[in-house]
Structure 1
Amino acid sequence: MKNLKIKKLLAVAVAGILTVGLVACGSSNSDSAKSDTASGSDAASGSYRTLDEIKEDGTINIGVFSDKNPFGYVDENGEYQGYDVYFANRLAKDLGVKVNFVSTEAANRIEYLQTGKVDVILANFTVTEERAQEVDFALPYMNVALGVVSREDNVIKSLDNWNKDDSIIVISGTTAETYLTENYPDIPLQKFDSYATAKEAFQNGTSVAWANDNTEVIAFALQNKGYTVGISELGNKDTIAPAVTKGNDSLREWINSEIETLGQENFFHKDYEETLVDTYGTDYEDSLVVEGGKTE
């Protein structure tokens, strides 16, 4: 009898343990399901703040370059400057909020929008069909094409009949990388994440040429002796525009309205004259600037 009672007590204890275990497992699975559901919901709606949420917070996060003078860079006082930064400051002012600049690299621009790290990208972002599938572009504020800069003692005027032992420098995540990969797959590419490292490598002679936005290569040639732009337009002419997270219609529509309004005061020509004229002079102004989102 004594052994029988002990067996019954053990059976009850084991059953209790199993019950607790099952409840615990059930609770864990339930929490996990809730978490997965929430994550799925967030992914579906996009990680972004609406226009009203930005206003309520009082700060807008704008992604800009910190090493691409004269479009986005940090000066000797640690302040952000440049064509894109000038525009960003005006956006924040007219929205009635402070601006928080977030330094980005070309390859991170889409990721920063999709993860909610920034509300807007103003970092020489060329509009392409592929990118438009992942982000939403507002109206353009600049024209751009691809260009190729090389040394004066070996000017590259064509990419046809390329020497397979030579390479071209590109920035990862740029239209130059995409264009060359698709149209000149046999040309070796040296890829860099930042403009600073690309410039340093080019100046050190690691490649015979550097392909990038024509605005960038023209600026480089003007600022550095011994270099020239042998190809000023490569591929299609494109535009640069602000980008927001896919589906953030309230912010995109406000930016569109703002660009149209700014066009009435020739804001982007003033921006050019304040930030770009020292680099490009006045000859390029009308061909580069887009006022009010109108490219024609």
Structure 2
Amino acid sequence: MTQRSHLVRGLIAAAALFALGAGTAHADLLKDIRDAKKIRIALDTGSPPYGFVDGAMKPVGSDVETAQLLAQDLGVAIEIVQVTSPNRIPFLQTGKADIVVASLSVTPEREKVIDFSVPYAQIQSVVAGPKGVQINGFDDLKGKRVATTRGSNNDKVVTTGAKDAQVVRYDDDATLVTAAVSGQADIIATSPAIVSTVLAKAPQKDMVIKFTMSMVPLGIGMRKDEPALKAWINDWITKNLANGKLQAIYKKYHGG
């Protein structure tokens, strides 16, 4: 074999090794978070009781406490990245947040673009309206004006189920609540927690849940191809469901 042949074979072998290394290399966000001693968690503080601001202007809520417990157990500081329903996933994809803990429903569409942890809670999607209005299902929404939060799972479910309704979308849960309290929105597609918030602010509205559209799990969202981070979060959720800490947080803000 000539010297040239040896050189060519050596280059081919080196290229193969490089390609193998490039194929197996991946980012390790968990290591980056630990090195930085900080985790950036996307939270929606306009979605009570999952996230809201109390009288002392402090972020509170079931998702807020869940995120704080996660950061504490990971041994890093938490940096809250404020999001709304429509920009939860874009903020994650563009690297503005490391993970999302913001009442993010696990859906097949979302699983195509991000990864989810195992469920840490569940959320109902319901339709609520005035007590005297007869609404038993999607068919009864025909021709009616139904308000919801843009980009939420509630938006998707009511848009798909009530094709003949006039769906009005608000940018976040706080704006939806304001619309319901002020009389701009009489029928809403949302979560039971938001219905309770409306009634707390305006008991005279006499709003009741008419029917449940769906029941879906909530997961912690993260970018794809982060196996170490996903494994740590899944293990953390499993342990904190087993020891009751996550249930205690949920019960504190949701009552059950």
**Which TM-score bucket, shorter chain as reference?**
0.7 to 0.9
Q: In structure 1, what residue type is equivalent to 2:209?
A: G
Write out aligned runs for 1:77-92 (5 A): 77-92=56-71
Q: Using the TM superposition, give the Cα deviation of residue 158 of structure 1 relative to its aligned residue in structure 2, in angstroms.
A: 2.9
Residue pair 2:104, 2:219 contacting (<8 A) in 1 also: yes
Query: Residue 210 in 1 paired to residue 188 in 2?
Result: yes
Larger gyration radius, structure 1 or structure 2: 1
Provide TM-score, normalisation by structure 1. 0.72
The one of 129, 135, 141 equivalent to 1:150 is 129
Cα distance between partner residues in 1 of 2:107 and 2:234: 18
Q: Give % identity.
A: 25
Aligned to 1:116: 95
Aligned to 1:174: 152
Write out aligned runs for 1:1-296 (5 A): 50-154=29-133, 156-164=135-143, 166-221=144-199, 224-225=202-203, 226-234=205-213, 236-277=214-255, 285=256
Q: In structure 2, what residue type is equivalent to 1:60?
A: I
Q: Using the TM superposition, give the Cα deviation of residue 218 of structure 1 relative to its aligned residue in structure 2, in angstroms.
A: 4.4
Residue pair 1:148, 1:217 contacting (<8 A) in 2 also: no
Residue pair 1:214, 1:233 contacting (<8 A) in 2 also: no
Q: Which range is displaced more, 265-274 or 248-257?
A: 265-274
> Which residues of structure 1 form unaligned runs of 5+?
1-40, 278-284, 286-296
After superposition, the C-alpha distances for 1:43-73 in whole angstroms (9 at most, x for unaligned) are xx99x86100000001101111111221101
Residue pair 2:49, 2:193 contacting (<8 A) in 1 also: no
Residue pair 1:168, 1:190 contacting (<8 A) in 2 also: yes
Distance 1:276 1:182, change over 3 A: closer
After superposition, the C-alpha distances for 1:273-295 in whole angstroms (9 at most, x for unaligned) are 43333xxxxxxx2xxxxxxxxxx
Cα distance between partner residues in 2 of 1:63 and 1:270: 22
After superposition, the C-alpha distances for 1:235-291 in whole angstroms (9 at most, x for unaligned) are x321111110122222111100101111221112221243333xxxxxxx2xxxxxx
> Which residues of structure 2 form unaligned runs of 5+?
1-21
Q: Using the TM superposition, give the Cα deviation of residue 149 of structure 1 relative to its aligned residue in structure 2, in angstroms.
A: 1.5
Distance 1:157 1:254, change over 3 A: same
SS of equivalent residue, structure 1 residue 127: coil
Cα distance between partner residues in 1 of 2:218 and 2:51: 14
Provide TM-score, normalisation by structure 2. 0.83
Cα distance between partner residues in 2 of 1:254 and 1:242: 12
Q: Using the TM superposition, give the Cα deviation of residue 102 of structure 1 relative to its aligned residue in structure 2, in angstroms.
A: 1.0
Q: In structure 1, what residue type is equivalent to 2:80?
A: F
Q: In structure 2, what residue type is equivalent to 1:251?
A: L
Aligned residue pairs total 232
State the Cα RMSD in Å: 2.2
